[in-house]
């Protein structure tokens, strides 16, 4: 048994901590140091920035009326090391009830501008157009319609009237085809 144990001890290969040795190990260590000291911090800073801009993008996508304030909070969060970022995230996802009570809408003005451009380009869906018209009428009924949105509402009303007139003219000018006559001359 002792002999077997002695053979195992003598036959053991020297242990290596790396698969590289000599100059290759030094080169690999230099490359790893450059990556860890220069590239990783750049990636971390970019990720930190992207994460802190996300609430701003969310607020813009959801047409939040307080997008500018959320943007400011995101920038302050960058300065304060991310402490304000959760507040900006929550704010971007909330429905501004107080804003709706005060201004009659929970959408930012950019929403109405975007919808107007889509309508002028002809890419606005009928359901969205109907909803836009209803929103503008509700805001006007509350007396909270700014002049720019009043102009948009008037433009949409004029376009609706024109479309209704064209539809009425198309119906009036459509001829009813005569009934087919059979061999006996009956209609």
d(CA 99, CA 65): 8
Given this model, what pLDDT does residue 10 score? 63
Given this model, what pLDDT does residue 112 score? 77
Given this model, what pLDDT does residue 185 score? 55
Question: Of 68, 94, 120, which closes a domain?
Answer: 94
Instruction: For residue 110, give every residue at least 6 positions away whose Cβ sits within 8 Å of its Cβ, in sequence order, or none.
Output: 60, 63, 67
Task: Tell me the pTM.
Answer: 0.56
Given this model, what pLDDT does residue 55 score? 94
Given this model, what pLDDT does residue 74 score? 92
Does residue 1 belong to any structural domain of this protein? Answer: no
The DSSP letter of residue 19 is S
Does residue 16 belong to any structural domain of this protein? Answer: no
Does residue 121 belong to any structural domain of this protein? Answer: yes
Instruction: Give 122-163 pLDDT, tens digit per residue.
Output: 787 888 888 888 877 877 777 767 777 788 788 878 877 887
Q: Which residue, 155, 114, 148, is CA-closest to 133?
A: 155
d(CA 161, CA 181): 40
- Same domain flag for 144 and 80: no
Burial of 87 (0-12, 13-18, 19+ CB in 10 A): middle
Given this model, what pLDDT does residue 38 score? 92
d(CA 26, CA 105): 65
- Same domain flag for 78 and 103: no
Q: Domain span at residue 56?
A: 26-94
- Same domain flag for 86 and 147: no
- Same domain flag for 133 and 161: yes
d(CA 58, CA 93): 8
Token couple for 72: 């400011």
Given this model, what pLDDT does residue 13 score? 61
Q: Which residue has the tokens 């198309």?
A: 170
Does residue 142 belong to any structural domain of this protein? Answer: yes
Given this model, what pLDDT does residue 21 score? 75
| Low pLDDT (below 70) residues in the chain | 7, 10-18, 100-104, 144, 174-187
Given this model, what pLDDT does residue 18 score? 67
Given this model, what pLDDT does residue 63 score? 84
Question: Of 39, 59, 94, which closes a domain?
Answer: 94
- Same domain flag for 31 and 81: yes
Q: What angle do CA 9, 12, 13 make, to 5 degrees?
A: 150
- Per the CB < 8 A criterion, the answer to whether 70 and 54 are in contact is no
d(CA 114, CA 129): 12
Counted domains in the chain: 2
Given this model, what pLDDT does residue 58 score? 93
- Per the CB < 8 A criterion, the answer to whether 9 and 2 are in contact is no
- Same domain flag for 85 and 131: no
Between helices 67-79 and 85-93, what is the axis angle to 10°?
160
- Same domain flag for 89 and 102: no
Token couple for 81: 């090391």
């Amino acid at each position: 048994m002792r002999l077997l144990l002695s053979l195992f001890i003598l036959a053991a290969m020297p242990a290596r901590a790396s698969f590289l040795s000599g100059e290759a190990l030094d080169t690999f260590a230099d490359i790893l140091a450059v990556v860890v000291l220069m590239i990783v911090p750049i990636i971390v800073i970019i990720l930190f920035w992207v994460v802190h801009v996300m609430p701003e993008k969310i607020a813009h996508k959801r047409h939040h009326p307080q997008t500018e304030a959320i943007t400011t909070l995101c920038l302050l969060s960058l300065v304060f090391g991310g402490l304000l970022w959760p507040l900006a995230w929550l704010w971007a996802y909330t429905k501004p009830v107080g804003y709706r009570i005060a201004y009659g809408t929970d959408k930012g003005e950019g929403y109405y501008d975007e919808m107007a451009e889509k309508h002028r380009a002809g890419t606005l869906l009928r359901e969205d157009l109907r909803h836009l018209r209803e929103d503008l009428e509700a805001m006007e009924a509350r007396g909270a319609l700014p002049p720019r949105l009043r102009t948009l509402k008037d433009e949409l009303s004029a376009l609706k009237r024109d479309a209704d007139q064209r539809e009425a003219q198309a119906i009036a000018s459509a001829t009813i085809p005569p009934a087919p006559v059979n061999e006996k001359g009956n209609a």
